[in-house]
Chain A
Amino acid sequence: MARNPSPVRKAWRSLAILGGLIALLAGLNTLGAVAFNGSWTPKLALDLEGGTQLTLAPIVEGGAEVSQDQLDQAVAIIRQRIDASGVSESEITTQGGRNIVVSIPGQPDEQTLARIQASARLEFRPVLLAGIPSADSIETPTPTPTPGATDAPADSSTGSPAPESTDGATPAPEPTESGAPTPAPTPTDASDLAQVTPELQAAYDAFECGSIDSTVPAPEDEPLLTCESDGTVKYLLGPVEVTGADVADASSSIATTQQGASTGTWQVAIDFDDEGTAAFGDVTTRLTALPSPQNQFGIVLDKRVISAPVSRVVILDGNASITGNFTQETAKTLADQLKFGALPLSFETQSQDRISATLGSDQLRSGLIAGLIGLILVVIYSLIQYRGLGFVTVASLLVAAGLTYLVITLLSWRQGYRLSLAGIAGLIVAIGITADSFIVYFERIRDELRDGRGLSGAVETGWKRAWRTILASDAVNLGAAVILFLLAVGNVQGFALTLGLTTLIDIAVVALFTHPMLQLLSRTRFFSEGHKLSGLDPKALGAVYRGRAQFKAPVAEAKSRVGATREAARRQTIAERKAAGSTLTVEAPNGIPPEVDETPTPRKGI
């Protein structure tokens, strides 16, 4: 803000910012549509566009029946996996009490499908070999099973190679088909390097992280070739020793020393059940004595290593804790993975079909027609109510609509947002909330005119007060949107996004378009002379009727420049003016007579 720039310059500056914003959004959209195969229009949700329907049959370890509990948990896991790919409002239901039906809008890509079908199998396997994958495989890190899944603590993050990589782990011979079953001669234990046959060694050497196919479950009693989930370390792991089913609970917390003092670092605690406690005790007893990297065990989820901690102490009570370079977030992620991964389920895809929209195309068409009719009614009403100003309302609504369209298209490209019929209805309702900002503002200007202010002055003071109100009320909506977006899932999240978006656009349009337009228009003769059709005719607004205020107005404006105190000063000026008004017209007090005897004793009654 330069020294007191004139309202006209400010107005042009605001309009320029808005123009820049629109140009930027349009540019990004163009870039997306042309260069990245995006689309000029927002993508539509399941109800309007149809999509793909997957029927998944959960398979429990050992062929047992799937309980309702497990099914519900499986639905939650799948929803989590799908939500990780964006705000797309998928539909997940159970069918016949044993299948899970997942409907995803549009044509999901292979990655999404793989992620959904992947088994939620959590395994603890001892590390046999660990090393850096070849360079090109680092460049193609496949998607991690969960959003923000982070690197394991033991060997921390990116780049840092696994400890003592492929150090002379000379494999014991005994030829078998590479990657095929029937491992080496009965190994003495799961860490026995005798399991590493030459074929396995060769497969390990050539192994690339991109080649993990998490849709096919890994046999439990065989070694597994895999990678850290971010693709920085590759592993050859021994057979499964403890499964996720043995994990009773997992949580993240701040680690404490033995004296109970906080160390300030985050840790993940795992509780095993009885079976797990015994098995884990055996594992740690054996691993703790081994050299690196064989003293590590890999925690494998969906065939990827989510953490490979080093076993430092023998844990016999079933309460293990993993420490390392955790942040609060990464610790929580790992704890959740351990907890959810404890579900011993895998999924078998029974069918995969394209499904059509659940709502007929007539619903979409009717919705759009209804919106259009509503919009026309709004235009007519605001022209009747606000005459010339009505055109400003209409233009502002058009700008808001344009911005909304651009942002939604952008979101549907970058974030996987999809527009459902409910979303469209939400956008139509937003017309009302957006128009309200203009109405609040216009009414404030009229109030100022009624107080006898000149039009330019009325626009400036009216704006300052209206802006405060608009910000306060929009803050409520924005708060609702942010909190619901962060905490809710599925449809509610989509709604929250729409609400937040329209609220932000409302603020932007009223500040960067409506107000500057009025600043400029208030300088045209049509408006400043209060033409009958301008909607700002002081006569029609009764300003002349209260003519006595006219000589006071300049005083108020002079005061309003005083800065910090101006709000108070202005309010007082108006209060004084009102006081003057009510003493002048004391014969017509505002309908108080009936309460005169009641007010002085407000405590009666209760």
Chain B
Amino acid sequence: MASFSQFGNDLYTGKRSIDFIGRRRTWFIISAVAVLLSLAVPFLRGGFTFGIEFTGGSEFRVSNLESVDQEPAIDAVASVAPEIAPRVSSVGTNSIRVQTDQLADEESNEVREALAEAYGVPVDEVTESFIGPSWGADITRQALTGLLIFLVLVGLFMAVYFRTWKMSVAAMVALLHDLVITAGVYGIVGFEVTPAAVIGFLTILGYSLYDTVVVFDKIRENTSGSEATSGRTFRESVNLAVNQTLVRSINTSVVAILPVGAILFIGAFLLGAGTLRDIALALFIGIIVGTYSTIFVAAPLYTVLREREPEIAKESKRTLELRAKGVSA
């Protein structure tokens, strides 16, 4: 691993430098394409599919059972509609409750028969009813209000802390980028949007901003001195900061992704649909995109916003002139 710490050293001293800021056009195009795909593909697929918690669905009740084993119910639903992940629980001591997405009449009749057969009871003992959403519009509304207030406050906080609103803008754009792409991938994969996924998205929101603040703090530090003394243009200072925090960004995202990856792997491949898979997928994508966007979107965008300021443009010009003289002398 000596090579990795050597890599870190070189990044720190500037001996090795990856030009994140200079090639921003490339990154912006990549991001734009990714965002467009994330919007278009789920849309072409017919929009997001929302889970039973949002849309409501069908509920079957199998009564007068001797055993309330849950396996037969899961198998029975799978035999009729394999793409549905039913929520099965025992109710009391002698009945089973099976909740599924809203089924067509024909399908729901088949499910009733399959359930009756699986438990060896007459079809009469299986009742079906429609259940409404447990995550209603009012919960969504309140969560959105909370988010909106949070974003405004965070924008203000960052503007005050970093003493420039441009960092807030860059961070918010990166955040939006992360959310759109994470949701897009989720939609492309075709997983159902469940409350677990929504909570995954909320976590990503926190992670994305968090990651951006850490890197921006280094940028703030590198660009707060006068350019004349540092001998670097504004753009170079930003680029150096991103390079200096690159090892941190890599280490942090690896450490964050390892447990999530483990959950995703176990959740998706061993368990199939369910809370773990939903939340882990949202997080897995979100952490990768969140780390990417800090380096490739937020920092370059911030540079673009600031470089146009006359003062910074002037100083950068002078720094470059001085340097040209120094080299020729």
Mark A residues whose CB is within 8 Å of B.
Answer: 47, 50, 53, 71-72, 75-76, 91-97, 101, 353-360, 362-363, 366-367, 369-371, 373-375, 377-378, 381-382, 384-385, 420-422, 425-426, 428-429, 431-433, 435-436, 439-440, 443, 446-447, 450, 465, 468-469, 472-477, 479-480, 483-484, 486-492, 495, 499, 540-542, 545-546, 571-572, 575-576, 578-579, 581-583, 585-586, 588-592, 594-596, 599-600, 602-603
Contact = CB atoms under 8 A, between A and B. Distances in A.
B258 A374 contact: yes
Contacts of A591: 17-19, 22, 239
Contacts of B37: none
B89 A483 contact: no
Chain B binding surface SS class: helix
Interface stretch (B26-34, B41-49, B179-187, B319-327): B319-327
Contact of A357 (B89, B145, B161): B89
Contact of A374 (B13, B243, B261): B261
A490 B139 contact: yes
Contacts of B142: 487-489, 492
B217 A472 contact: yes
11 contacts: A382-B255, A450-B12, A473-B213, A476-B209, A476-B210, A487-B142, A488-B146, A491-B139, A541-B9, A578-B231, A586-B327
A590 B307 CA distance: 18
Interface of B: 1-2, 4-6, 8-10, 12-15, 17-19, 22, 56, 59, 68, 70, 87-93, 95, 97, 129-136, 138-139, 142-143, 145-147, 149-150, 153-154, 157-158, 161, 195-196, 198-200, 202-203, 205-207, 209-211, 213-214, 217-218, 221, 224-225, 229-233, 235-236, 239-240, 243-245, 247-248, 251-263, 265-267, 270-271, 274-276, 279-280, 283, 287, 307-308, 313, 316-317, 320, 323-324, 326-327
Contacts of A576: 229
Given A479-B157, A480-B150, A371 B259 contact: yes
Contact of A540 (B2, B206, B214): B2
A541 B89 contact: no
A97 B130 contact: yes
Contacts of A487: 142-143, 145-146, 149
A97 to B, nearest CB: 7
B205 to A, nearest CB: 7
Nearest to B132: A94
A378 B139 contact: no
Given A429-B260, A432-B287, A579-B231, A353 B91 contact: yes
A420 B199 CA distance: 12
A96 B153 CA distance: 42
Given A91-B134, A578-B232, A591-B18, 11 more contacts: A367-B263, A421-B276, A426-B199, A435-B252, A436-B248, A436-B252, A465-B221, A476-B210, A483-B149, A488-B142, A599-B235
Nearest to B286: A429
Contacts of B270: 366
B132 A571 contact: no
Given A95-B132, A450-B12, A542 B6 contact: yes
Contact of A586 (B12, B218, B326): B326
A582 B15 CA distance: 10
B275 A369 contact: no
Nearest to B308: A602
A381 B271 contact: no
Contacts of A492: 139, 142-143, 146, 198-199, 202
Task: Report the 4 A-B pairs with minimum CB-CB distance, sorted nearest first.
Answer: A432-B256, A374-B259, A94-B132, A487-B146
A94 B137 CA distance: 13
Contacts, number: 339
Contact of A358 (B89, B221, B287): B89
A483 B258 CA distance: 29
A95 B129 contact: yes
A400 to B, nearest CB: 13
Contact of A370 (B6, B59, B218, B266): B266
Given A429-B283, A477-B210, A600-B317, A439 B267 contact: no
A53 B276 contact: no
A356 B68 contact: yes
A491 B233 contact: no
B248 A443 contact: yes
B15 A588 contact: yes
Contact of B89 (A50, A546, A600): A50
Contact of B259 (A354, A375, A436): A375
A602 B313 contact: yes
A355 B214 contact: no
B157 A582 contact: no
Contacts of A472: 161, 213, 217
A439 B252 contact: yes
A425 B275 contact: yes
B30 to A, nearest CB: 19
Contacts of B245: 443
Contact of B230 (A95, A422, A575): A575
Nearest to B145: A487
Contacts of A579: 229-231
B207 to A, nearest CB: 7
Contacts of B233: 592, 599
B196 A425 contact: yes
A150 B158 CA distance: 39
A428 B209 contact: no
